[in-house]
A and B are shown apart, each in its own frame.
Chain A
């Protein structure tokens, strides 16, 4: 496993894609941080005049979330290319056929690829962490549970995007086709979420299943177990589909039947998820919960 991960990391660092990703993310995050601080500063000035407004201001919503919005953009638009490359490159160069004949095969190959892409995700998150450090260094307020909740959401979003990219790369012959398919999902989901704002009720309902919607509770400092489990299950299902479609020695019929079995299993497993109603409010001001007075009255 160690050799596989080393190979993946070397391959990832040798490619230009990951450096382009880092170069694009850094300035984008920096610009977002400056813009967010500037806007927050203006809003804070107004709050000095009307103290009621100050109650509605918090740096997590005003600075951190807009800054991490740029990382969300990178994860949606650029990160898929790096994730697709890890499989598509091996397919096109002939490396995959060699790797599939090694003693440990897919059970080691896929986790090592996941580890490689998680490393790329960490690189994407690096400018965000630098922004947090800068914000904290210059006296900005940070509340660790909220930040960790946001980072968990970003990680889950990265995982689901990676899983979509892996399936796309496994099921298609070329990197460009895989990119079209994966971006169709990530961008489509983004557009759906955007269009649902003020749209018809069915569009709003549909947007609840978008990838962006899965990230939203985490951005509000809310750890919803149903969303967490749903995203993990979806990623695992997509990884299972990748395992099925990656091996060129399997017939299309076998792959289709296997995919149907995986999707049926996923449906069965997702049923108990609806019962998971619990969530943890990790926001500093407990804005997702009833106030203590209301809670006491309800009890």
Chain B
């Protein structure tokens, strides 16, 4: 995938593969092209070139929403509506049962905020609300932009197993994370982005070997070696 904004190169021949039911982390500093990559994958941003495959079949921009669901970072959708209305809407559109919606609400500790308006939520609660929308979706690939941003340590520690649970249920997750410690905690594989280019992709061991540091155990060390 390639994408330019005028003279600025946002993505240049970015290509990688993610096995089904895994959690892949898109890692990179601010401005590396993480959000552009996810928007392009979701078909929400016109790309200059590239092809996206799912199960060895090309998925066009129009049909991508059948495969991929992407939740952006720092958005306040349906700001004037209550959490209950909004989550009820997404639950109904995705034909989720009430039991499933209740389970998602409880797992993300949103029950106390159901009557609150989306615009009145704190940053952490708003983040959990966005994750809830993502969890309610039914597309086989779920992409989350900075899912840990705004969450405290306890919430982060609770979210990691939840994401693993979603993956275990048969969905593939692609999450953009700039905190390497968080990425290590939740991801099976990594896509390292630097200045719009792939610096490496694979499991931690594969990346360590690619970086020429097979003994490296921390993502930070590997990332610095590759970028």
Contacts and interface: CB of A to CB of B under 8 A. Distances in A.
Given A101-B70, A103-B65, A93 B93 contact: no
B65 A10 contact: no
B61 A249 contact: yes
Contacts of A95: 75, 77-78
Contacts of B24: none
Which of B46, B61, B72, B81 counts the most chain A CB atoms within 10 A? B46
B78 A93 contact: yes
Interface in B112-154: 117, 133, 137-139
Nearest to A96: B77
A131 to B, nearest CB: 31
B78 A7 contact: yes
B61 A104 contact: no
Contacts of A94: 72, 75-77
B44 to A, nearest CB: 5
A85 B77 CA distance: 13
Given A15-B80, A97-B44, A100-B65, A7 B72 contact: no
B89 A6 contact: yes
Interface in A1-47: 3-4, 6-7, 10-11, 14-15
Contacts of A201: none
Contacts of B70: 97, 101
Interface in B65-83: 65-66, 68-72, 75-81
B85 A93 contact: no
A100 B72 contact: no
Given A11-B81, A249-B44, A249-B46, A101 B89 contact: no
Which of A6, A14, A15, A252 counts the most chain B CB atoms within 10 A? A14
A105 to B, nearest CB: 6
Given A7-B85, A15-B80, A97 B72 contact: yes
Interface string B38-58: 000011111000000000000
Given A3-B89, A10-B85, A94-B72, A248 B77 contact: no
A196 B10 CA distance: 52
Given A6-B89, A101-B70, A93 B76 contact: yes
Contacts of B30: none
A7 B81 CA distance: 9
Contacts of A6: 89
Contacts of B139: 101
A278 interface: no
Nearest to A99: B77
B92 interface: yes
Given A15-B80, A101-B65, A103-B65, A93 B46 contact: no
Nearest to B88: A3
A248 B81 contact: no
A105 B62 CA distance: 10
A296 interface: no
Interface of B: 42-46, 61, 65-66, 68-72, 75-81, 85-86, 89-90, 92-94, 117, 133, 137-139
Given A7-B86, A97-B72, A101-B139, 20 more contacts: A3-B92, A4-B89, A93-B76, A93-B77, A94-B72, A95-B78, A97-B44, A97-B70, A98-B133, A100-B44, A101-B65, A102-B94, A103-B65, A103-B138, A249-B45, A249-B46, A250-B46, A251-B46, A252-B46, A254-B46
30 contacts: A3-B92, A11-B78, A11-B80, A15-B80, A93-B75, A93-B77, A93-B79, A94-B76, A95-B75, A95-B77, A95-B78, A97-B70, A97-B75, A98-B75, A98-B90, A98-B133, A101-B69, A101-B137, A101-B139, A102-B90, A103-B65, A103-B66, A103-B93, A103-B138, A105-B65, A248-B45, A248-B46, A249-B44, A249-B61, A250-B46
